[in-house]
Structure 1
């Protein structure tokens, strides 16, 4: 990050790290509870270098994090959103988050489980979600009715869902009579469910197991998460 981009107002620095709202952190600063490089600072507008300056609140030193990346095994009943006044969101589950600007990369339906990336890296999110990038997303689906022989061909040909949406060709890989893996390169609203409805079937359970190069960590129980490794982040950035 360039030197110019690393210079921030002290109140923004603290708010970015969820120390409090902008109003709350201004009060902290004015009360003399914030130190920069060992000096008490009482002016919220003071510019600090997020890469170099040592900043502490009530004696606790902070470490500025520009970007965060988490893998979440999303449980059913949680909404794919950054905030919601009535329901628990996927971002609410990331208890160790240092930033306040995290968001889910794409959406999983409320009743859908599995892999979800939580980050504040907008460039990476755009790359993974852009239809032009053709990033594969693999789901495990359990169905109400047995799969038919012609379903694989129908998915491979591209399904007309309704007048406004024709799904791009997808890969349907049968696992058992009522179970299959589905690989898509889009992320339309209720897409997997709507594709099976188009072949007169119904999804009763759905779980995303991979996105681009990233596979769901089998060690993560539902609702658990971990930070992505540097190698995983690099691989995602090069996803095609």
Structure 2
């Protein structure tokens, strides 16, 4: 797959197309060891070696980042009241191609922590968030009320069957699809796997069951698990194996 040299360098955060063209015409860019005089030169990022100011670039078609989202930040590019998850990213993701194309695969509420995926891969995003995809997402949930054995059986049965969820504010009522619950050694903590992404869905599901969520953290999406070594607010690039796992057929 080939792309224009100026687009590739913009993707890597070297500034606007105008900035990149100046760099190229100043002789600062080499392609396969030779000066690239044409900003529109088509390069194969899988085969060609691009060097800027003596440094060989690591090239990638798309950006894939995993963040452990903290509480009290919102999943938005800009917000007048709160910090945003995008403000936690380094400068290299605040310019050029990344600034224009980086987006989230699904969102988390301001008080919800956990796995958040940033990418420039629009096709993957569309496939994972499409209502028809049934992409599995697992959450760690701490509940207000502890569950005895009878309640656990009741919850498990209702969650497996799906049940009515009343409206909340401007959000419509719906009947949730079948979901899977895994109980832990603590009677007020569970793991819940759902295949939808309705507004406040996990909180609304437990509210309909007569309980309240007091802590919520997403721990996996489509089999990709949150890296336990990431502190809240930290992020890293996905490995090729993790991208493949995230992209697996649903």
- Shorter-normalised TM range: 0.7 to 0.9
- Normalising by structure 1, we get a TM-score of 0.80
Separation of aligned partners in 1, 2:23 and 2:68: 36
1:171 matched to 2:203? The reply is no
- Going from structure 1 to structure 2, the CA distance change for 1:38 and 1:177 (only over 3 Å counts) comes to closer
SS at match of 1:133: coil
**Which residue of 2 is the match for residue 134 of structure 1?**
134
**Which residue of 1 is the match for residue 159 of structure 2?**
155
**Which residue of 1 is the match for residue 208 of structure 2?**
198
5+ residue gaps, structure 2: none
Matches within 5 A, 1:68-217: 68-81=63-76, 83-84=77-78, 86=80, 88-95=83-90, 100=98, 101-147=101-147, 149=151, 150-161=154-165, 162=167, 163-175=172-184, 176-217=186-227
Q: Which shows bigger deviation, 178-187 or 63-72?
A: 63-72
Separation of aligned partners in 1, 2:31 and 2:79: 35
Aligned residues: 234
Measured against aligned partners, the alpha-carbon deviations of 1:16-60 in whole angstroms (never above 9, x if no partner) come to: 111112233234334444344444445533444434443333333
Asked whether the equivalents of residues 213 and 239 of structure 1 are also in contact (C-alpha less than 8 Å), the reply is no
- Going from structure 1 to structure 2, the CA distance change for 1:217 and 1:47 (only over 3 Å counts) comes to closer
SS at match of 2:175: coil
The alpha carbon displacement at 1:111 in A equals 1.5
SS at match of 2:177: coil
Cα-Cα RMSD: 2.9
